[in-house]
Structure 1
């Protein structure tokens, strides 16, 4: 039961209890006041009763009209009490209905700031912490709660920004020494007197250096996408897919993997560089974590679906693949850095989209990317 319903029920319950108590009090007071108990209309009133109630006069029964109904005082009192009781109950029920409606309206107005807090919390994401409640009103408990919530968001936003700046700055600082190391290794390998052992060691160091540079580039891209989109433009996603498939053609030929593509025109409002990285990471992962003679299927209709063949992926391991540096045990021998799906997820969120994955039936992985499509269509 929602809080508004509970508050309305409490309001109505308190009103009914107070109304019943009031009816009981009125009934008791009326019973104490009733003066006709034990008397008849045709009989003369006692002297003290006539003095107490001067508006009541006694008449002889013989002078009453023929159609006069003579009742006893007890019957008259009982009938009066019953009439008052039932009319009071009906009035209480009508007032209770009105009280329930008023309670519902008042509860809604009282809880309106809580709805504002809840809706703001639902709209918040790690990439969009700029929303605030900024509740206006008297300094009551709800105002204090809203201000506390805004203060917490300020601290969270500051913490996230500091973390992203640290990753970006650290990645930039690491690129320079890696570039220097690569240059020194290439110079050493180009020396005429370099031995075979030195050349083998140099080739291994160059490979390690390349892996480190890819890792740093991935961290920079991840930090950039986590900060959200500074600018947007219209991008044809199907053209991005065609370009990235062409880029991955050499790697696919080396791995003996074939592509199958089925797409339509699909327009997205976003960053073309980040979208290219999203598609490129999906395709390279699908090729790298495939088997010789395998295939990669790309479908673009309501969403982008990339599936590949390959080793069986346990269902319980799929959520962990979206975490940075998380890979399956049998994937550690590949050239990947473990950031591919993390970058895909981050870029999709920056475009207000979503990513989910599931194991492929015959082995491999199926990744679904849902990106908001614009209402613009290319004329046929």
Structure 2
């Protein structure tokens, strides 16, 4: 904008000076000469009679003076100097005015950059005169309002649907228990009951995951307390001790010390679910005789708390690994696989975002996955 202002000023200045010079030097200039009259000053010892005053010449006629190329060149050079100085001044003024004109846009960009799905209730609320910029800000605010309404409707639907589905699942489980509890029953009933219970357990895990995901997206950091990562990680490992022993996994952990237990602040229930899902994912998708490493890096002056969970496994592609933070994304080709619900890492990502953090997933060159959570 500064360059545009300066260019327009220079073009306008050149046109203006060209017209002025053409009008000035198009015709001869009329000049009237008045003869100088010597002035007598007393006190110099001179006779005033020696300095006669000439008679006035009322019929003096103007003289036409034609400009020479030297005169035109001199006028053009002086005009160029003045135009250059004014051009520099216009550049400075253009920079100032462009900054003032673009200041509302910078404010809008900064506020928009800070708005995410976690704080869609915030608005730009641009103040000032009613012009095109305030209309743009109002349009963005109305768009944010529609997005907030859509997000809230989606979250309420997930939470309500999960709650509503619990009742028919409980009725189905009760019916299976009643059928199996009869003293006289065909042998096929036990087989069918086992399959139904397996499906009902998977549905229960899926509903629990959906409810936890909806809670992480809705509640966020409403309940704030301190939580030591070492305690959460060890509790998650103890809860899966049988699965770890079955796969003969080598577990390594560096979770701080008693004096520095790597504390994080947030919702204790959600943070426990975050660590639990990371450990569950690392154990569930590990290979026999593999390894599981958990590292907690304390917060530094300029660094957040970082929890890293690494596990062995097959070699994965980074492009596919990056999608695991989305709901119902699995690396297996069979979407009907019972290895988890496909919500574990998406729950971790939602809880991390709710605590102003993020989940980073990396495919390890030797195989397996490294999950890093920054809080």
TM interval, short-chain normalised? 0.7 to 0.9
The partner residue of 2:323 within 320, 330, 334 is: 320
Establish whether residue 286 from structure 1 lines up as the match of residue 277 from structure 2. no
- Unaligned residue ranges in structure 2 (runs of 5+): 38-63, 298-304
- With over 3 angstroms needed to count, the CA separation of the structure-2 counterparts of 1:370 and 1:231, relative to structure 1, is same
Find the residue that maps to 1:253 and give its secondary structure.
helix
Scaled by the length of structure 1, what TM-score is found?
A: 0.82
Using the alignment, how far apart are the partners of 2:374 and 2:255 within structure 1? Answer: 14
How far has the Cα of 1:28 moved from its partner? 2.5
Per-residue deviation, residues 145-167 of structure 1 (Å, max 9, x unmatched): 11111111111101110110011
3-state SS in 2 of match to 1:186: helix
Structure 1 residue 297 displacement after superposition: 1.0
**After superposition, where does 1:45-60 map in structure 2 within 5 Å?**
53-55=32-34
Task: Provide the residue aligned with 1:366 in structure 2.
Answer: 370
Whose helix proportion is higher, 1 or 2? 1
Q: Output the CA distance in 2 between the equivalents of 1:56 and 1:85.
A: 31
Displacement of 1:258 in angstroms is: 3.0
Rounded Cα–Cα distance in structure 2 between residues aligned with 1:194 and 1:293: 44
Cα pair 1:136 1:143 within 8 Å, conserved: yes
Distance 2:67 2:173 in 1: 113
Distance 1:152 1:330, change over 3 A: closer
Q: What is the CA distance between 1:319 and its match in structure 2? A: 2.3
Cα deviation for residue 231 of structure 1 reads: 2.6
Q: How does 1:28-177 map to 2 (within 5 A)?
A: 28-32=22-26, 35=29, 53-55=32-34, 77-177=68-168
Decide whether the 8 Å contact of 1:232 with 1:269 is kept in 2: yes
Match of 1:274 in 2: 270
Query: How many residues end up aligned between the 2 structures?
Result: 337
2:206 to 204, 209, 215: 215
Separation in 1, partners of 2:22, 2:339: 92
Label 1:263 to 1:281 Cα distance change in 2 as closer, same or farther (>3 A). Answer: same
Greater than 6 Å deviation, 4+ residue runs: 73-76
Are 1:250 and 2:254 matched, yes or no? no
Q: Do the aligned partners of 1:34 and 1:77 also contact (CA within 8 Å) in 2? A: no
For the residues of structure 2 that align with 1:294 and 1:330, how far apart are their CA atoms? 23
Go from structure 1 to structure 2 and tell me whether the alpha carbon gap of 1:179 and 1:256 turns closer, same or farther (over 3 Å shift): farther
* Deviation by residue 1:113-158 (Cα, 9 ceiling, x = unmatched): 2112212221121222112111122221111111111111111101
Contact 1:211 1:335 in 2 (8 A): no
- Structure 1 counterpart of 2:43: none
User: 2:324, 2:345 within 8 Å by CA — same for their partners in 1?
Assistant: yes
Q: Structure 1: how far apart are the matches of 2:234 and 2:150? A: 39
What secondary structure, in the 3-state scheme, does the structure 2 residue paired with 1:329 have? coil
- Kept in 2, the 8 Å contact 1:308–1:360? The answer is no
What displacement does 1:20 show?
1.3
Q: Is the 8 A contact 2:25 2:67 kept in 1?
A: no
Q: Deviations over 1:289-325 (max 9, x none)?
A: 1112222111111521111112222233212222211
Over residues 38-75 of structure 1, what are the superposed CA-to-partner deviations in whole Å (9 max), with x where a residue is unaligned?
xxxxxxxxxxx7xx6143679xxxxxxxxxxxxxx999
1:299 counterpart (289, 295, 298): 295
1:232 CA displacement? 1.9
Q: Please report the RMSD computed on the Cα atoms of aligned residues, expressed in angstroms.
A: 2.5
